[in-house]
């Protein structure tokens, strides 16, 4: 049959990204070039793999059957290359990970360094976005997998929980609450409070936890992202409640973290991927390295 691995990759990319335009961008091909590759594969197989209309592209029954075989062939070939050091040194490609910003800072640098030493020819694309955007990126195949703290009930996604992260009070080192062993939410009502805006996952967790509280902090300043909140606290404008890993690594000359209680609040961080669809070997290797790092290194000790 007159087709090659590039034709198979073109076919699977159209399926994964829901159309020719998105797949062409992912593969750095023009849309006509991508179409020619898919047509070449169809001609070699003697079947139609896609039903094309002006609005959508859908797999034919034969295409739905063949996509599993195509992925298996590509994974087998890439897995063989990954397993041979001489070839791994020259292996090219790309792995895309979607991750919340705090996870990028704490967990990815050492894993990226180890992976790059092993596969110097593979490019690593990090999409540092909000938790909800991590889910969307993985669901739409814009990322191979994600590192986030929001689980999901979507049937096509699976979430592997790794550890629970506590929320803490962020305040200046000179603030009256900085030396406390813990602080209650009620006590924050007496201090200038900075909050993350509604719509963020962190704000939703906090609002749910305090839904029945008689006394709760009232914000005087609201921001869209946690880093901005921490920056305002560092500038001495007030206090705020943030996930522990959103605070700077190690001792900071201006910032302090104090456990928050009554109620305590945690979020669960883990890895998210598409269910029942194996990762390509290059992405699987990064996934395994990251999972090992998360399980073997205490994030709270690092913090």
Query: Quick one: 138 exposed, middle or buried, by C-beta within 10 A (0-12, 13-18, 19+)?
Result: buried
User: For residue range 76-119, what is the model confidence (pLDDT) as tens digits?
Assistant: 777 666 655 554 555 557 899 999 988 888 889 999 999 998 88
* Ramachandran bin of 97, using left for φ above 0, alpha for ψ from -120 to 50, beta for the remaining angles: beta
Tens-digit pLDDT profile for residues 57-77:
888 888 888 888 877 777 777
φ, ψ dihedrals at 223, nearest 5°: -125, 165
Going by DSSP bridges, is the β-strand pair 193-196/122-128 parallel, antiparallel, or unpaired? unpaired
Higher pLDDT, 27 or 261: 261
Q: Is the pLDDT of residue 146 over 80?
A: yes
pLDDT of residue 303: 45
Mean pLDDT computed over 208-225: 90
Asked if 240 contacts 195 with a C-beta cutoff of 8 angstroms, the reply is yes
> Using one digit for the tens of pLDDT, what is the confidence trace for 255-277?
999 999 999 999 999 999 988 77
Q: How far apart are CA 36 and CA 252, in angstroms?
A: 57
Sole residue written with tokens 């409640």: 241
Location of structure tokens 């609450």: 177
**pTM assigned to the model:** 0.67
Structure confidence at residue 85 (pLDDT)? 55
Residues 6+ apart with CB under 8 A from 141: 16, 17, 18, 274
CA distances in angstroms from 73 to 5, 66, 281, listed in the order given = 9, 11, 12
Q: What is the pLDDT of residue 279?
A: 85
Highest mean pLDDT: which range of 43-52, 245-254, 258-267? 258-267
Higher model confidence: residue 290 or residue 8? 290
d(CA 287, CA 274): 13
Q: How far is CA 294 from CA 57, 218, 249, 290, in A?
A: 39, 36, 16, 6
Q: What is the pLDDT of residue 302?
A: 45
Q: Per-residue pLDDT averaged across 173-196, rounded?
A: 94
| Greater pLDDT, 57 or 175 | 175
Distance (Å, whole) CA 235 – CA 237: 6
- Indicate if the pLDDT at residue 8 is higher than 80: no
Q: Could you tell me the domains of the chain?
A: 5-82 (1.10.10.10), 92-162+268-302 (3.40.190.10), 163-266 (3.40.190.290)
pLDDT for residue 301: 45
Highest averaged pLDDT of the listed ranges 39-43, 52-56, 181-185: 181-185
Would the pLDDT of 299 be above 70?
no
Mean pLDDT of 119-132: 89
Phi (first) and psi of residue 243, to 5 degrees: -65, 145
For residue 125, the surrounding DSSP H or E stretch is: strand 122-128
- Average model confidence (pLDDT) across the chain: 85
Alpha carbon separation from 202 to 76, 81, 97, 164, 208 (Å, rounded):
41, 42, 21, 14, 10
Q: What percent of the chain has pLDDT over 90?
A: 38
């Amino acid at each position: 049959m007159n087709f090659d691995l590039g034709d198979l990759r073109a076919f699977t990319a159209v399926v994964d990204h829901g159309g020719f335009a998105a797949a062409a961008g992912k593969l750095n091909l023009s849309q006509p070039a991508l179409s020619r590759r898919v047509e070449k594969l169809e001609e070699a197989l003697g079947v139609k793999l896609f039903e094309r209309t002006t609005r959508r592209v859908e797999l034919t029954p034969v295409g739905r059957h063949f996509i599993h075989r195509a992925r298996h062939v590509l994974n087998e070939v890439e897995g063989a290359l990954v397993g041979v050091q001489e070839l791994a040194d020259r292996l090219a490609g790309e792995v895309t990970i979607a991750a919340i910003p705090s996870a990028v800072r704490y967990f990815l640098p050492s894993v990226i360094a180890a992976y790059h030493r092993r596969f110097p020819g593979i490019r690593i694309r990090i999409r540092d976005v909000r938790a909800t955007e991590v889910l969307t990126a993985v669901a739409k195949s814009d990322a191979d997998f994600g590192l986030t703290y929001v689980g999901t009930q979507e049937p096509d996604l699976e979430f592997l929980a790794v550890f629970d992260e506590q929320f803490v009070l962020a305040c200046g080192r000179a603030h009256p609450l900085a030396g406390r062993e813990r602080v209650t939410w009620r006590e924050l009502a007496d201090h200038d409070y900075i909050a993350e805006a509604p719509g963020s996952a962190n704000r939703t967790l906090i609002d749910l936890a305090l839904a029945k509280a008689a006394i709760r902090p009232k914000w005087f300043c609201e921001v869209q992202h946690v880093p901005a909140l921490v920056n305002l606290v560092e500038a001495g404008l007030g206090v705020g409640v943030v996930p522990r890993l959103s605070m700077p690594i190690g001792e900071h000359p201006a910032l302090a973290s104090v456990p928050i209680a009554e109620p305590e609040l945690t979020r669960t961080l883990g890895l998210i991927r598409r269910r029942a669809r194996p990762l390509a070997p290059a992405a699987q290797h990064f996934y395994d390295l990251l999972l090992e790092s998360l399980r073997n290194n205490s994030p709270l000790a690092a913090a």
